A and B are shown apart, each in its own frame.
Chain A
Amino acid sequence: MQGAGITAEPPIAAAPPPSNDPGLASRYLVGALFLAPALFLLGVWMVYPAAYTIVRSLFGQSGFGDFVALDNYKTLFTQANLTTAIKNNAIWVAVVPALVTALGLIFAVLTERIRWSVAFKTAVFLPMAISAFATGVTWRIMYQQDPTQGAVNALGRTVADAVKAPGVLPSAFPSTPQLVSKGGNLVLKTPLQAGSIAHLGVTGIAPTDVPKSAVQAVDPKPQPGSIVGVVWRDFKPGGGVAGKVEKQELGLPGVTIDLRSSDGKIVGKTTSDANGDFVFKNVGSGTFKSEIGAQTFRKPWGGFAWLGSKLITPSLLIAYIWIWAGFAMVVIGAGLAAMPRDVLEAARTDGATELQVFRRVTVPLLAPVLSVVFVTMIINVLKVFDLIVSLAPESTQNDANVIALAMWRTSFGGENNFGVGSAIAVFLFVLVIPVLALNIRRFKTEAK
């Protein structure tokens, strides 16, 4: 947020002509007095340290007695956690400025078409006022992996469940050894025939996970020619007897039951009632086996590990874009407002579609503003620090490392290696020199 980084193009007035009045020396003195505090601070806090850091980067950890030439720079480009930092920063530079500029442009153009643009702009711009540090805390809450806790994964689970519904009893397991797991299904070992009763007792279901419509389980009466059965929560406070339907034990409704013939073919499929009972009518002769279908146990979507080592950098990029899109929107919006309207109107009158107007007129006319936003974002992205410290858990900070963070951790984070730390700082400085040169050149051409 500090100084947007790029020089403005204010009306640069010509310097007042030099005058020849006798008080010249005293006027020089006044100028010096007005300038002195700023020059003192800039000299002591910026110029001297910059020079010091450049020299310090040529010496080892123990201090100025230990000249190592360019060894610290060699470390910077070879040590694993530092190369990770450089690689990550390259990703940041490749992704963020482009996306932020594009989003800002889209938002700026679209908000011109709505009546409530002030409200929208305020909502998107709001994160600019919040510290990157607090933003990290905010997004860490959003990114919690458990979909019942993290909002991002909660949204993901809603979508995943709509595509592929989870089973009604994801955590259940058999209550007796008669039921065995086979290919995800829970198969009752006892062979069945017409007139048999299948007891499919399961347990391991938390009270809150029992389907709401469940009622007291009922041990069904045998029916001639049919196979009947019950699937129930074979557990009651205090335990109960496994494999036996007892008082206070609930039937499990909505469970898919398959019936297989002796050659393994599925010959019947049904779902259980509120009391857990089910029936396969007129099964004919032969022996059968029944099973609880695998879909009953399908686990709900577990969520992405946004804060894990693989996804931490994308997670950080999202949060960072969330902060800065408003900046791009406001700056580009101002450029848009200053654009000559008649040019746009002329293009529209000539029959250009909105998309053509956008691509052929709006974007080219905005190019200077877009480049300013883009370059400003490059500078900002190179300095990212606070967000990573607060968003990434310590265990993934090595994977999330960037140059500014590596500089701090190397210098002050326990290792206290001022040699390599200085080299990292100088590297960071070298990366912004092109922008520095650009700013000065721009100023000089405008001053003429």
Chain B
Amino acid sequence: MTAVATELPVQRERVAARIGRIALKAPVNLLLMVVGLLWLVPTIGLFITSILPASISEQTGWWKIFSKPSIATWSNYDALFHNSGLISALKTTAYIAVGNTVLVVVIGAMAGYALAWLEFPGRDWVLIAVIGLLVVPLQMALIPMFSLYDKVGLFDTVLGIILFHVAFGLPFAVFLLRNFFVGIPKDILESARIDGASEFWIFIRLMLPLGLPAIASLAIFQFLWTWNDLIVALTFGQNTTPITVWIFGQLREFGTSIDVIAPASFISLIVPLAVFFAFQRYFVQGLLAGSVK
């Protein structure tokens, strides 16, 4: 009995403390809920706009759907999936994004491995040059490559756009992978070398599998970067139009083409969103590797 009697006030205090803590936390919870909602509203607004007929979007805001859900329609999407321009734009986007990602990963990993574990004179200088190139704005290359592409027939080709992306993706790729490979225990490499493994075998069989986390981060970044690109394709393409450039061509009649622009924009961001949700962990890792320890 005495034990219960002495325990009770403590219990009560705990409850009081808990209520106090929740009360203290309530404003924070509320504030973050409002902020979180505010952050979601624009994307939700784009999606709802994309399922409204133009006649509705021209007259009223997308939130009208909450009072009158019957105005929603899939006809915008229907029309778009029968639009050969959009379909070929999506294909072009996929070619560019996948092609670039594969090339950056392969070439970047090779260079990263060389800079981490192979010996040759001037290695550190190459690394310093790569770090220097990290922040060079791509505007520095637009004009010369425009002229050069014209001469060598790379203008308005998927390959030309891919190669430009690969080059500007490489400094980050080499840097990221080199740093990752350097952290791989030396013993593993040395024993493989003593066993007579070729550098090529070590690269394929050891480095790539061990470097998978970093490679995944890099691949996601490169994929999103090229999927979302506008400026490179706009400069080096004419009929080679990825989705961003295709929508860009419609922007002049923003008000009247909103039933094309909104669903096309939403389609363009479904793939990045899916990639983001599927590989969120790697995405964040890549971000951190690129900025902090």
Residue A110 interfacial (CB < 8 Å): yes
Residue B179 interfacial (CB < 8 Å): yes
Query: Does the CB pair A133–B244 fall under 8 Å?
Result: yes
Q: Which residues of A contact B63 (CB under 8 A)?
A: 151, 154
Residue B120 interfacial (CB < 8 Å): yes
Give the Cβ gap from B155 to chain A, nearest Cβ, in Å: 12
Give the Cβ gap from A132 to chain B, nearest Cβ, in Å: 7
Q: Which residues of B contact A37 (CB under 8 A)?
A: 107, 110-111
Query: Does the CB pair B132–A151 fall under 8 Å?
Result: no
Residue B224 interfacial (CB < 8 Å): yes
Query: Does the CB pair B292–A53 fall under 8 Å?
Result: no
Prevailing SS type, chain A contact patch:
helix
Query: Does the CB pair B137–A404 fall under 8 Å?
Result: yes
Tell whether A386 pairs with B167 under 8 Å between CB atoms, given A31-B114, A331-B287, A408-B235. no
Tell whether A35 pairs with B142 under 8 Å between CB atoms, given A28-B121, A432-B135, A443-B128. no
Query: Does the CB pair A1–B120 fall under 8 Å?
Result: no
Query: Does the CB pair B128–A6 fall under 8 Å?
Result: no
* Binding stretch for chain B, among A142-150, A193-201, A230-238: A142-150
- For A393, give its contact among B170, B221, B254, B258 (CB under 8 Å): B254
Tell whether A123 pairs with B124 under 8 Å between CB atoms, given A137-B262, A432-B136. no
Query: Does the CB pair A130–B168 fall under 8 Å?
Result: no
Query: Does the CB pair B61–A154 fall under 8 Å?
Result: yes
Q: Map CB proximity to B onto A296-322 as digits: 1 under 8 Å, 0 otherwise.
A: 000000000000000000000000001
Query: Does the CB pair B163–A404 fall under 8 Å?
Result: no
Q: Which residues of A contact B266 (CB under 8 A)?
A: 134
Query: Does the CB pair B291–A376 fall under 8 Å?
Result: yes
Residue in A1, A2, A18, A327 whose Cβ sees the most chain B Cβ within 10 Å:
A2
Q: Which residues of A contact B37 (CB under 8 A)?
A: 123
Residue B288 interfacial (CB < 8 Å): yes
Give the Cβ gap from B1 to chain A, nearest Cβ, in Å: 36
- For B130, give its contact among A24, A42, A122, A379 (CB under 8 Å): A42
Residue A72 interfacial (CB < 8 Å): no
Query: Does the CB pair B182–A16 fall under 8 Å?
Result: no
Query: Does the CB pair A138–B265 fall under 8 Å?
Result: yes
Chain A residues 381-400 with CB under 8 Å of chain B are 382-383, 385-386, 389-390, 393-394
Residue of A nearest to B137 (CB): A428
Prevailing SS type, chain B contact patch:
helix
Give the Cβ gap from A123 to chain B, nearest Cβ, in Å: 4
- For B273, give its contact among A50, A126, A132, A154 (CB under 8 Å): A126
Q: Which residues of B contact A80 (CB under 8 A)?
A: none
Q: Which residues of B contact A34 (CB under 8 A)?
A: 110-111, 113-114, 118, 199, 203
Query: Does the CB pair B120–A32 fall under 8 Å?
Result: yes
Residue B197 interfacial (CB < 8 Å): no
Query: Does the CB pair A124–B35 fall under 8 Å?
Result: yes
Residue A102 interfacial (CB < 8 Å): no
Give the Cβ gap from A276 to chain B, nearest Cβ, in Å: 29
Query: Does the CB pair A27–B288 fall under 8 Å?
Result: no
CA–CA, A389 to B167, complex, Å? 24
Residue B40 interfacial (CB < 8 Å): yes
CA–CA, A208 to B139, complex, Å? 53
Query: Does the CB pair B183–A6 fall under 8 Å?
Result: no
Q: Map CB proximity to B onto A18-42 as digits: 1 under 8 Å, 0 otherwise.
A: 1100001001101110110111011
Residue B67 interfacial (CB < 8 Å): no
Q: Which residues of A contact B82 (CB under 8 A)?
A: none
Query: Does the CB pair B35–A383 fall under 8 Å?
Result: no
Query: Does the CB pair A31–B231 fall under 8 Å?
Result: no
Q: Which residues of A contact B49 (CB under 8 A)?
A: 141
Residue A206 interfacial (CB < 8 Å): no
CA–CA, A407 to B107, complex, Å? 30
CA–CA, A129 to B227, complex, Å? 10
Residue A346 interfacial (CB < 8 Å): no
Query: Does the CB pair A110–B230 fall under 8 Å?
Result: no
Residue A282 interfacial (CB < 8 Å): no
Tell whether A114 pairs with B29 under 8 Å between CB atoms, given A1-B224, A142-B42. yes
Residue B20 interfacial (CB < 8 Å): no
Query: Does the CB pair A27–B118 fall under 8 Å?
Result: yes
Residue of B nearest to A35 (CB): B114
Residue B261 interfacial (CB < 8 Å): yes
Give the Cβ gap from B236 to chain A, nearest Cβ, in Å: 10
* Binding stretch for chain A, among B5-13, B71-79, B84-92, B245-253: B245-253
Residue A100 interfacial (CB < 8 Å): no
Residue B46 interfacial (CB < 8 Å): yes
Tell whether A3 pairs with B172 under 8 Å between CB atoms, given A49-B145, A425-B143. yes
Chain A residues 226-246 with CB under 8 Å of chain B are none
Residue A439 interfacial (CB < 8 Å): yes
- For B180, give its contact among A10, A28, A334, A404 (CB under 8 Å): A10
Residue B134 interfacial (CB < 8 Å): yes
CA–CA, A81 to B180, complex, Å? 45
- For B36, give its contact among A119, A327, A372, A379 (CB under 8 Å): A119
Residue B39 interfacial (CB < 8 Å): yes
Query: Does the CB pair A27–B175 fall under 8 Å?
Result: no
Query: Does the CB pair B231–A1 fall under 8 Å?
Result: no
Q: Which residues of B contact A111 (CB under 8 A)?
A: 32
CA–CA, A444 to B254, complex, Å? 51
Chain A residues 40-75 with CB under 8 Å of chain B are 41-42, 44-50, 52-53, 56
Residue A411 interfacial (CB < 8 Å): yes
Query: Does the CB pair B28–A114 fall under 8 Å?
Result: yes
A-B pairs with lowest CB-CB distance, top 9 = A3-B172, A45-B167, A131-B228, A4-B290, A10-B179, A38-B111, A49-B141, A129-B276, A31-B120
A-B contact pairs, 19 of them (CB 8 A): A1-B225, A4-B291, A31-B123, A39-B126, A42-B129, A56-B144, A110-B31, A123-B36, A124-B36, A126-B43, A130-B228, A131-B228, A134-B269, A139-B42, A141-B46, A389-B230, A390-B247, A412-B142, A412-B146
Chain B positions near chain A (C-beta within 8 angstroms): 25, 28-29, 31-32, 35-37, 39-43, 45-46, 49, 57, 59-63, 107-108, 110-111, 113-115, 117-121, 123-124, 126-146, 163-164, 166-172, 174-176, 179-180, 182-183, 186, 199-200, 203, 221, 224-225, 227-231, 234-235, 244, 247-248, 251-252, 254, 258, 261-262, 265-266, 268-269, 272-273, 275-276, 280, 283-284, 287-293
- Apart from A46-B140, A439-B131, 7 more pairs, CB < 8 Å: A8-B292, A41-B107, A53-B141, A131-B268, A137-B46, A149-B60, A444-B128
